[in-house]
Amino acid sequence: MVTLKEIAQLIDGDLEGDPSMVIFGPAKIEEGKPNTITFLANPKYTSYIYTTEASAVIVDHSFVPEREVKASLIKVHDVYLALATLMNKFDQNKEFDAKISPNSQVSPSAVIGLKVGIGAFAILADNSIIKDNSQIGAQVFIGKNVQIGLNCKIYPGVKIYSDTIIGNNVIIHANTVIGSDGFGFAKNEAGQYVKIPQIGRVLIEDDVEIGANTVIDRGSLGDTIIKKGVKLDNLIQVAHNVKIEENTAIAAQTGIAGSTIIGKSCLIGGQVGIAGHIHIGDGTIVQAKSGLNSSTQPNEKLYGYPALGYSQYLKSYAYFKKLPEMADELRQLKIELQKLKSNE
């Protein structure tokens, strides 16, 4: 519970309306109720600002109403950033209890910082280190020699294999697995696979967020590395010895095969497949469901299976749709040409 005045200060906005109005929480513009605050960022939703029952709306400084708006307005420079700040205010760490559960199992050799929470039926194995303010959820497994930095949130059921190193402010969602063996086998003369032990580690830098039921395999030799600020969605596969550079975001169900390097600030859609041992340049944008099987230059926009340039794929696919007509025309031309030849 907070007043509009307090919210305007929090998000550094200009308030047009009643500063003492009390707000219980945020809502979508089309679902706003009295004493909620909403926002207008996408012009598609502009009409709702005149009908919303929400008590306040966050808008861009450039917004000029075309008719009366009943709600109070808070004008800001970046609506999405203001919204993120605001929602943080209402977000609570509900899955964590911020204390060490008597039903957890903590090795005597584990080192635990200040204000660390450890949930019920969670395990901290030998020589693991959890730094200040980090929350280890219920039923989490933290293997031997694992290090977890400051202010991390490890949600229930996450399994982190031994020797994994995790930085500060890292969030890992439920049932994700970090540090499982990579898929490495050598075929013997009898055609059977012999396991190549996977003795590398996973290194995760600061400010990384990882979704639920994702898997990041440990390196075979050397390490699998997720750099600062990377965001991974749910159900993603990161194979052994992959390296993902800073501030790259990858949507759900994408898979990256072994030893591939993904550059900085890439934006990779869902269900994308990326082959092993290639290098994707910085700033690459990949459409959902594309398949990349060779290295790419920086700042390309890619689409298709296998991937082409974005507009090249769209053009080719437009003609793919017309292939039956093209084949008809080709047949017709052959007939006409034949006629011309026989007329000669």
Show Cβ contacts of residue 310 under 8 Å, excluding neighbours closer than 6 positions.
285, 287, 301, 302, 303
Task: Tell me if 195 contacts a copy of itself by CB under 8 A.
Answer: yes
Shortest distance, CB of residue 22 to a copy of itself, whole angstroms?
18
Distance set, CA 267 to CA 207, 233, 262 (Å): 17, 12, 10
Buried residues in 315-342 as b, exposed as e (16+ CB within 10 A) = eeeeeeeeeeeeeeeeeeeeeeeeeeee
Task: Tell me if 1 contacts a copy of itself by CB under 8 A.
Answer: no
Options 2, 10, 261, 288; binder of a copy of itself; rule CB under 8 A: 288
φ and ψ at 117, to 5 degrees? -105, 140
How many positions of this chain bind a copy of itself (CB under 8 A)?
116
Task: Tell me if 257 contacts a copy of itself by CB under 8 A.
Answer: yes
Options 113, 147, 175, 279; binder of a copy of itself; rule CB under 8 A: 175
Q: Looking only at residues 39 through 68 of this chain, which bind a copy of itself when binding is defined by CB under 8 A?
A: none
Contact characters 116-155, a copy of itself, x per CB under 8 A: ---xxx-x-------------xxx-x-xxx---------x
Tally the C-alpha atoms within 13 A of residue 281's C-alpha that lie toward its C-beta. Answer: 12
Show Cβ contacts of residue 110 under 8 Å, excluding neighbours closer than 6 positions.
124, 125, 126, 127, 128, 129, 130, 142
Distance CA(254)–CA(233), nearest Å, equals 9
Q: Note if 240 is an active site residue.
A: yes
Shortest distance, CB of residue 208 to a copy of itself, whole angstroms?
10
Task: Tell me if 322 contacts a copy of itself by CB under 8 A.
Answer: yes
Task: Tell me if 270 contacts a copy of itself by CB under 8 A.
Answer: yes
Task: Tell me if 183 contacts a copy of itself by CB under 8 A.
Answer: yes
CA 304 vs. chain centroid, Å, equals 21
Task: Tell me if 247 contacts a copy of itself by CB under 8 A.
Answer: yes
Shortest distance, CB of residue 287 to a copy of itself, whole angstroms?
9
Task: Tell me if 316 contacts a copy of itself by CB under 8 A.
Answer: yes
Segment interacting with a copy of itself (CB under 8 A) among 5-13, 55-63, 108-116, 176-184: 176-184
Tokens read off for 343: 């007329």
Q: Looking only at residues 225 through 244 of this chain, which bind a copy of itself when binding is defined by CB under 8 A?
A: 229, 231, 233-235, 237, 239
What separation, in Å, do the N-terminal and C-terminal C-alpha atoms of the chain show? 91
Active-site residues, by number, are 240
